Amino acid sequence: MNLSIFNTLIVTACSVITAFALEPEVPAAKTALFNGKDTAGWVSHLKGNAVAGDTWSVRDGLLVCSGAPNGFLRTEKSYSQYKFIVEWRFTKPGNTGVVVHMTPPDGIWPKSIECQGMHKNQGDFYLWSGATAKEGKPLQDKEGKIFGYRIARAGEDAEKPPGEWNTYTVICDKDTVTILVNGKEVNKATGANLTSGFIGLQSEGGAYEIRKVLIEPL
């Protein structure tokens, strides 16, 4: 291998490792993570390495997701001990979600805890790629192999009709993750084996708009 190419690969690998090894940040004050102008501070990962601009755009101060292909927009920074708040509405009902404690490498889906945002199912949990929690029920394929865990929402649906704004809140406190939909607590996962990581917004079939993304201390 050409020496210059080898050195470039080493530098790139070190940069990636350094980025992934950053200590999670504990927010000290309420902070807006979406500036209403662009996706600064976020990283896109989409199936098939699709172009982010075809899935995520900013129009009239809103973050707009087409819902296709599958993937996510995640924070550049890793976080722990926080409350994450997103205000969204469906323009085409379908599936989306907030993903917390995302662990590298990026993939679909990485080791993480998905806080379900699917229409009429907002508040379920899905735990992927080795993530676990006390209440998780195994998800199995046809051969009986476990590929994840689910914690179904026990309470009534608190989602507003499509076209109306919903406030979706995720509270991450040590090994506990709590979901509130429009101010109502709808689910809680305890004893999770993840306590920090990136935060993601999913593209998974539902077209929706976001007007506010906030993180604040507990």
- What average pLDDT does the segment 55-79 reach? 97
- What average pLDDT does the segment 13-42 reach? 80
pLDDT tier at 8 (50, 70, 90 boundaries)? very low
CA end-to-end distance (rounded Å), the chain: 51
pLDDT tier at 11 (50, 70, 90 boundaries)? very low
Domain residues for the domain of 199 are 24-216
Among the residue ranges 8-17, 66-75, 109-118, 162-171, the one predicted with the least confidence is: 8-17
Percentage with pLDDT > 90 across the chain: 85
Residue 7 falls inside a structural domain: no
pLDDT tier at 73 (50, 70, 90 boundaries)? very high
Pairwise CA distance, residues 216 & 218, whole Å: 7
Residue 17 falls inside a structural domain: no
Tokens 């192999």 belong to 145
pLDDT tier at 52 (50, 70, 90 boundaries)? confident
Residue 12 falls inside a structural domain: no
pLDDT tier at 116 (50, 70, 90 boundaries)? very high
Residue 46 falls inside a structural domain: yes
* Residue 10 confidence (pLDDT) above 50: no
Pairwise CA distance, residues 8 & 193, whole Å: 35
Q: Supply the CATH number for residue 131's domain.
A: 2.60.120.560
pTM: predicted TM-score of the whole model, two decimal places: 0.89
pLDDT at 49: 84
> Per residue in 142-181, pLDDT tens?
999 999 999 999 888 999 999 999 999 999 999 999 999 9
Residue 143 falls inside a structural domain: yes
Bridge-partner residues for 201, per DSSP? Answer: 73, 98
Split into its structural domains, the chain has a count of 1
Residue 102 falls inside a structural domain: yes
CB under 8 Å to 183, separation ≥6 — which residues? 158, 167, 169
Residue 8 falls inside a structural domain: no
Residue 9 falls inside a structural domain: no
